[in-house]
Structures are given as C-alpha cells and as structure tokens.
Structure 1
Amino acid sequence: MKRCAWAMKTPRLQQYHDDEWGVPQYTDQGLFEILGFEIFQAGLSLDLVLQRRLTLQKALVNFEIDQLAGFSEQQQRNFLTNPAVIRNQQKLEAVIHNARRWQAQQLHGFSPADQLWFLQQQCHAYVDRLSVSTEDLFTEQTWQLFDSWGLVRVGPATVQWFLRAAGFVNGHEANCDRFENQMIGPYH
C-alpha cells in the first residue's frame, strides 16, 4: 500500500493513517476528541502523541465534552502530575475551556458538527467562484467560526490538521492510495 510520506516512519503512524486519519467524523464527540488531540499534538511529534494517546484519553475522560467541561481543579492537578501524559498546563486548560465553549454551542440547537459540515458544504459551493483552494477557504472559515465560539489554541495550522484528520478535506498526498478513495463528508 502506498501511503503519505509522514505515515511511513513507524507502524503506529501507518496504522493511524490507514484506519483513522481522514475518515469523516459526524458527531460532536468524535470531532471534539480529534480537536483536543490536535491541540495536544501541536508542536510535538505525531508519533509521540499517538504513543501516549491511550493514557491521554483515560486521563481526559475520553475527551467526553460534558465531563471535561466540569473538570475540577483536583482533576487538573492529577493530570499535571501524571508522568504518562503530555503534561502541558496550557494545552490542558485549552481543552477544558474548549469543552465548555463546545458545550455552549450544543445548546443552540445547531450542533457544532452540523455547523462544521454545513460550512464545509458552503465552502465547496463557493470555491468554484474564487481563486483559492477548498482547503484554504475552509481552514480560514473554520478558524473564524472557532474564534466566534471562543475556542482557544486553535490557530490555522491546528485547524488545518483537524480538518484533515476529521475527514472534512482530503489531506492525503497524491501518490497515496487513500488520496483517490477518500470520501469527504456527506456533501461530497
């Protein structure tokens, strides 16, 4: 199987690439977990973060939005003293803050997942009229949407990787077997 170059470095990266990366996610929970993972991955090796993924998921209650939104000071201290996780207080606080903001969006009746997939559809509709790529337009629009929700630590690079990982855009390299076969959401 031909894979993206970044996925060829370790068996863990290969498995992530083959089984998860770029597979469309449609639930708030699935999307939030990917966003939280990307926040923790920012500036670090993807392989390192995947190596600590199970421990990170356990320590962060599987990125469960409602539980993270109510994360106590004691739970935060426990997390930051756990040598098996990525002990970064700013990233931890960002994920907790973002869980609260994501939760607030859920109360509006148009879930974050629905908002993101609708935005993806709109970007595909407009890209033919503009001289930008769908990915560039969608990254910019998603970054602005996240900013309007009050999310933190979700700059353009994190948003771009989130969109690729969650299957909103095809981030596979042209010579990758999954490039031609990747389905892009319900509006593709």
Structure 2
Amino acid sequence: MKRCDWANLNKTLQNYHDNEWSICEFSDYKLFEVLCLEIMQAGLSWDIILKKRKFLKQAFNNFDFSLVKNYDSNKIDNLLINEKIIRNKSKILSIINNAKILYNWKSIYNYSFSEYIWSFTNNKPIINFPKTHKDVQSLNFLSIQISKELKTKGFKFIGPTIIYSFLQAIGVIDDHLIDCYKKNKQ
C-alpha cells in the first residue's frame, strides 16, 4: 500500500498517517488537542511528539480546555519538571492561554471554534496534488490569514507554519501525495 513518504519511517508515523492525519475533524476538543500538539512540535520532529503524546495527554488533562484554562503556577511548575513531556515554558504558557480563549469562544463569538476554522474554506477541504514531499508547502495565504486573525483574538505560539500543519492535520488541507492510498478517501 503506497503512503506519503514521511509515513514510512516507522509504525508510529504510519498509524498516525493512516488513522488521523488529514481526516476532517470538527470537534473543538479534538481541534484543541491537535493545536496543542502542533505547538509542542515546533522545532522538533512529529515522531517525537507522537511518542510523547500519551504523556502530554496525561499532563494536560486529555487536552480538555475547560480544565487547562485553570492551570496555576503550581501546575505549571509540575509541567516544567515532567521529563516525559516537552518542557518548554513558552509552549506550556501558550497552551494555557489558548485554552482560556477557547473556553470562552462560543459565548463571545456565538459559533464554535470548529465552525470558525472551517468557515475559511466554506466547510470543504482544500485538496492539493503534490507529487513528492518537496511539493508540499509549509505555509500558504490561508495559514497566514488564520494565524493573523487568531493572534488578534489573543492566541499565542500560532505562526503560519504551525497553523498550516494544524490545517493539514485536521483535514482542512489535504496534502496527501497523489499516489498515496489516502488521497481523496476522506
């Protein structure tokens, strides 16, 4: 079975590719989890994040933004000494900050975070047709636009490259290679 090149490096990446990556996701809780993982991944490999994912989920209350928003200095200190996760203070603080914003999102804007993200593409995925991994972008006009808008709403650590990767992960952008068996199967 032909997959995107990056998914062939090991079973962890293969499983993520086959069962999660670029499958359309609409749950605000799942979107928050993916955004948090993308933030944690900045400057690191996705393989590292997937191997630490279980511990990250445990440390961040299964990425439940209604709980993460309440993290205090004691919880932050505990996260910073947890050797099983990524112990970057800027990333941890941005996740807590973003949880606070997401928790209040629906009451402020009167629609879900998912509805907001998907509204940029009229609720349809953008399907690209890369032949090789080199043809896949790391950002585009959409990721730049969403990143800017989220920053105006108070989000942190969400540059256009992180947002592009986020959009790929949640299925807004389909960058499966043209010969990948997952292409247009969502």
Identity %: 31
Tell me the residue number matched to 1:13: 13
Displacement of 1:73 in angstroms is 1.1
* Residue deviations 1:77-115 (CA, integer Å, cap 9, x gap): 111111111111111001001111122222122111111
- CA distance 1:15–1:123, change in 2 (3 Å): closer
Q: Give me the CA root mean square deviation.
A: 2.0
In the alignment, the residues of structure 2 paired with residue 145 and residue 27 of structure 1 have an alpha-carbon distance, to the nearest angstrom, of: 20
In structure 1, the residue matched to 2:119 is 118
Q: Which residue of 1 aligns with 2:4?
A: 4
> Is the CA contact 1:102–1:149 (under 8 Å) kept in the aligned structure 2?
no
Distance (whole Å) between structure 1 residues aligned to residue 32 and residue 115 of structure 2: 13
Structure 2: distance between partners of 1:86 and 1:55? 10
1:75 alignment counterpart = 75
Does the 8 Å contact 2:168/2:175 carry over to 1?
A: yes
How far 1:124 sits from its partner (Å)? 7.9
Give unmatched runs, 5+ long, in structure 1. 126-132, 184-188
Q: How does 1:50-89 map onto structure 2 within 5 Å? A: 50-89=50-89
Residue 177 (structure 2) pairs with residue 173 (structure 1): yes
* TM-score, structure 1 normalization: 0.86
CA contact (8 A) 2:20 2:169 kept: yes
The structure 2 residue matched to 1:138, chosen from 135, 139, 142, is: 142
Q: CA deviation at 1:180?
A: 2.8
- Structure 2: which 5+ runs fail to align? 127-136
Deviation beyond 6 Å, 4+ runs, structure 1: 122-125
Alpha-carbon offset, residue 18 of structure 1? 0.4
1:145 offset after TM fit, Å? 2.3
Higher helix share: 1
Mapped pair 1:158 → 2:162: yes
1:147 match: 151
Provide the aligned length of Structure 1 versus Structure 2: 174
State the one-letter code of the partner of 2:116. Answer: Q
CA distance in 2, matches of 1:122, 1:141: 16
Partner amino acid, structure 1, of 2:181: D
